[in-house]
Amino acid sequence: MKSRRQRLPKRAKRRLLRRFTTIMLSTFVAGTAIVIGGLATYQHFSKDKNIFDGSSELSAEEKELEELEKLKTNVAVFGVDIDGYRTDAMFVAHFDGSRNSVDLVSIPRDTIVNLSDAEHQRLRSVNKHAPSRMKINEMTAYSGIENLQEFTMKEIERSLGIKLDNYVTVEIDAFRKIVDIMGGVTVDVPRRMKYRDNAQGLDIDLEPGIQELDGAAAEGLVRFRKDGKGGGYKDGDVGRIQTQHIFLKAFAEQMLSKENIPNLPRMVPTMFKHVKTDINVLDLPKYYGYASKFDTNNLKFHTIPGKGEYLGPISYFFPDYDEMDDFIQKIFYKSSVTDLDEEDSNEIIEDKNVRIEILNGGAAAGTAGDLEKIIKRDGYNVVNVGNYRGEKQEDIRIYAKDRKKAKQFEKYFDNCRIYEDSSIGNEIDIQIVIGSKGI
pLDDT digit string, tens, across residues 77-92 = 888 766 656 677 788 9
pLDDT of residue 206: 92
What is the CATH topology of the domain spanning 4-332? Aminopeptidase (3.40.630)
Rg value, the chain, Cα: 23
What's the CATH number of domain 337-434, 3.30.70.2390, 3.40.800.10, 3.65.10.10, 3.40.930.10?
3.30.70.2390
Q: What angle do CA 328, 329, 335 make, to 5 degrees?
A: 125
pLDDT of residue 178: 86
pLDDT (mean) for 373-377: 93
pLDDT of residue 262: 79
Q: In the chain, pLDDT over 90 holds for what percent of residues?
A: 27
- pLDDT(195) > 70: yes
pLDDT of residue 2: 37
CB 34 within 8 A of CB 297: no
Give the contacts of 422 (CB within 8 A, at least 6 positions apart).
Answer: 70, 336, 401
CB 33 within 8 A of CB 80: no
pLDDT in tens, 343-368: 445 678 889 999 999 999 888 888 99
Give one DSSP letter per residue of 18-38, joined into a string. Answer: HHTTHHHHS-EETTEE---HH
**Which of the 8 DSSP states describes residue 43?**
H
- pTM for the whole structure: 0.61
Domain extents for the chain? 4-332, 337-434
Q: In the chain, pLDDT over 70 holds for what percent of residues?
A: 70
pLDDT (mean) for 188-217: 86
CB count within 10 Å of CB 212 equals: 12
